[in-house]
Amino acid sequence: MKYFFIPGRNYDLSKAELISVVSSNIPSVHNFEFKPDYIVLDSKETPDAIARLFNRLGGFISCGVRYDDIDLILDEVGDRTKITFGLSIYTDKASKYSKSNIKDVLEQVKDLLKSRGVSSRYVIPNGLLLDSAQVIHNKILEKGFEIVIFDYEGKQFYGKTLAVQDINRFATVEYDKPYTNKEMGVLPAKLATIMVNLLGLKIGETIWDPFCGSGTIPLVALMNGYNVIGSDIDPEAVAGTKKNIEWLAADNKLNSVGVNIFQFDVLNPDSRTVRDLRRTTIKGVVCEPFMGPPQFKPLSQAKANKLLVGVEEMYKKLFETLEHIKLTDFKAVIVIPSYKTHNGWLTLSLNSIVSKKWRVDSNLVERDLHWKRSNSIIKRNIFVLSKKI
């Protein structure tokens, strides 16, 4: 069966995330087709299994089943007599689809349904696409279906949406948790999810975030069924992360219960904690270090360099500790910042942080991965590193 996936704004990150999650969760043979606006996955897995896999992702807007003919989608209405449906159009010729054209297509589908004895109402997209909020709010997937038209290079095929991104899930982690510390910088929950997924671990394996802050990485990792070790130099962050995990657990949103959060200074690793870490079964590190307070205008070169020296020092020490823990079969997904200065962007070289024992995971990454919000002063560069055995 062919499935389509619609990536979010950072295509290369989303692509790497999907490759990672599919290869660690789908044992059977599968193939990808990568297009600029969508990705097709050819897999023997059932639509339910693909929807479950989709719900683990942070970098995708929707996914669905691909069809060659729109009638095949209508055949699946079965014996329902009343439905709600919607339409989204992905195309390289947007001018072909005016508002009235879109309404005509919706009316045609409504007529086809009527001829099959099904009464229906439709939701008109904003522009060419229904957004996740429209799909969720109108219960389109529960009460009917969303048809997706793919129209590229003069050829059309169709899709039926299986799942859309649960925006509330990310908003809850970002805005509703009891403890937050904006001065320290908080990782977006979608990016934290993508980073956890880039490790490509099996459910139940253990992840360590050594700069846990308010606990975004531990929270999303626990929600996806991983066990978590979290640490921070700041006792307030340690207590806050614990509080946030308890809050999420009380809401029954956690799929895992293996949690250990404690105080640890990466720059001065105490031998007792390092010994304890050696006894754990950590399979990967996911983290973002302190990158300075939020910035609203370009920095001076001196200030950016000072912040970068801090990040460099922190990572050098962290990777020394990781080597000391003697982990094998191990991965790290880390953020290295770039700062916008009056003289252009400044960043660090990976070689200044990690020894030759580490390599960038080339199975996942063809190009450098970035997460940048428009007009932001700090750009996050994401690196997926494996330890050579």
Residues binding ligand SAM (CB under 6 A):
184-187, 210-211, 213-214, 216-217, 232-234, 237, 265-267, 288-291
Nearer to ligand SAM, 182 or 356 (CB): 182
Minimum gap (Å) between residue 214 Cβ and ligand SAM: 4
Minimum gap (Å) between residue 54 Cβ and ligand SAM: 24
Instruction: Enter the tokens of residue 14.
Output: 């989303």
- 79 three-class SS: coil
Minimum gap (Å) between residue 47 Cβ and ligand SAM: 34
Q: Which of 262, 251, 287, 259 is nearest to 177 (CA)?
A: 251
**225: Cα separation from own chain's centroid:** 15
- 296: Cβ–Cβ under 8 A, 6 or more apart, which residues? 377
Nearer to ligand SAM, 186 or 353 (CB): 186
- 3 three-class SS: strand
- 274: Cβ–Cβ under 8 A, 6 or more apart, which residues? 321, 324, 325
Residue 77 backbone phi and psi in degrees, to 5: -65, -25
**Could you give the CA distance from residue 197 to residue 223 in angstroms, rounded to a whole number?**
12
Minimum gap (Å) between residue 348 Cβ and ligand SAM: 16
Nearer to ligand SAM, 59 or 289 (CB): 289
Minimum gap (Å) between residue 213 Cβ and ligand SAM: 3
Task: Report which residue's Cβ sits closest to ligand SAM.
Answer: 213
What letter does residue 354 receive in the DSSP assignment?
S
Amino acid at 315: Y
Nearer to ligand SAM, 201 or 266 (CB): 266
Nearer to ligand SAM, 6 or 254 (CB): 254
Nearer to ligand SAM, 92 or 270 (CB): 270
Minimum gap (Å) between residue 35 Cβ and ligand SAM: 32
Residue with tokens 């909020």: 133
Nearer to ligand SAM, 254 or 311 (CB): 311
Sign of CA dihedral 39, 41, 42, 46: negative
Minimum gap (Å) between residue 288 Cβ and ligand SAM: 5
- 105 three-class SS: helix
CB count in 10 Å sphere of residue 110 = 16
